[in-house]
Chains A and B, each alone.
Chain A
Amino acid sequence: MLSLIVRRALSAVPMLFLLSIVSFCLIRALPGDPVDVMLGSAQKEIAPEQLSMLRAEFGLDKSPESQYWLWLKGWFYQGKASASNIQGNQQNQINQADLKKSTALGLSYRDGRPVKDVIIERLPATLALVGLALVISFASGMALGAALACLSLLSERDGPLAVWAARAETAAVTLTLAVYSAPNFWMAFIAIAIIARSAFLAPLPILGLHAPGEDATALGVLGHLILPALLLSARRTAKIALFIRSLAIDEIGREYVLTALAKGLSMGQVIVRHVLGNCLLPIVNLAGLSLPGLISGSVLIETVFCLPGMGRLMFESTLGRNYPVLMGLFMLYGTVVVISNLLADIASTCLDPRLKEAN
Chain B
Amino acid sequence: MKSWNSNLTAGASILTIFAALSLGPVVMATTHLGHPPLTDLNLTNIAPFTNSEHILGTDAMGRDLFSMLAWGALGSLSVALVASFTSVFVGNLFGSLSALLGGFVDNIMMRLVDCLLAIPPVILLLTLSTFLTAPEFTAKLPLFLCSLLSVSASSDGLLPLFTVTVAIAATTWLESARVARSRVLSIKTEEYCTAALALGDSNLQLLRRHLLPALVTTAVVEATLLVSDAIIMESGLSFLGLGLGPQTPSWGSMLRDAQVSLIQGNWWGALAPGLAIVLTVISIHLIGQGFLELRSAKVHGHIHGVGLKAR
Contact = CB atoms under 8 A, between A and B. Distances in A.
Nearest to B132: A31
A337 B123 CA distance: 13
B120 A337 contact: yes
A183 B274 contact: yes
Interface of A: 15, 18-19, 22-23, 26-27, 29-32, 152, 156, 173-174, 176-178, 180-183, 185-186, 189-190, 192-193, 197, 241-243, 245-246, 249-250, 253, 291-293, 295-297, 299-300, 303-304, 314-315, 318-319, 326, 329-330, 333-334, 337-338, 341
B282 interface: yes
B282 A189 contact: no
Interface stretch (B27-35, B195-203, B303-311): B303-311
Contact of A295 (B116, B120, B282, B306): B120
B305 A177 contact: yes
B300 to A, nearest CB: 10
Contacts of B134: 30-32
A333 B270 contact: no
Contacts of B101: none
Contact of A293 (B120, B281, B306): B120
Given A15-B111, A296-B123, A299-B240, 4 more contacts: A22-B112, A185-B239, A186-B277, A314-B126
A200 B114 CA distance: 49
Given A193-B267, A318-B130, A183 B305 contact: no
A306 B36 CA distance: 31
Interface in B125-161: 126-127, 130-131, 134-137
Interface stretch (B37-45, B51-59, B228-236): B228-236
A341 B117 CA distance: 11
16 contacts: A18-B112, A26-B127, A30-B131, A32-B134, A32-B135, A174-B306, A178-B278, A182-B281, A193-B262, A197-B267, A246-B303, A292-B121, A304-B259, A318-B130, A330-B119, A334-B118
B115 A334 contact: yes
Given A181-B278, A243-B305, A15 B114 contact: yes
A110 B114 CA distance: 31
B119 A183 contact: no
A177 B118 contact: no
B123 to A, nearest CB: 6
B39 to A, nearest CB: 22
Contacts of A315: 126, 240
Contacts of B117: 292
A185 B235 CA distance: 9
* B interface: dominant SS: helix
B178 to A, nearest CB: 13
Interface residues of B, number: 51
A319 B130 contact: yes
Contacts of B239: 183, 185, 300, 303
* A interface: dominant SS: helix
Given A177-B305, A193-B267, A334-B118, A299 B235 contact: no
Interface string B99-114: 0000000000001101
B302 interface: yes
Contacts of A173: 305-306
A315 B281 CA distance: 26
Nearest to B121: A296
B8 interface: no
Contacts of A243: 305
B271 interface: yes
Contact of A177 (B112, B114, B285, B309): B285
Contacts of B262: 189, 192-193
A27 B127 contact: yes
A236 B121 CA distance: 15
B270 A156 contact: no
Contacts of B116: 22
Given A181-B282, A300-B239, A190 B305 contact: no
Contacts of B258: 189
Interface string B267-311: 100110010011111100100000000000000001111100111
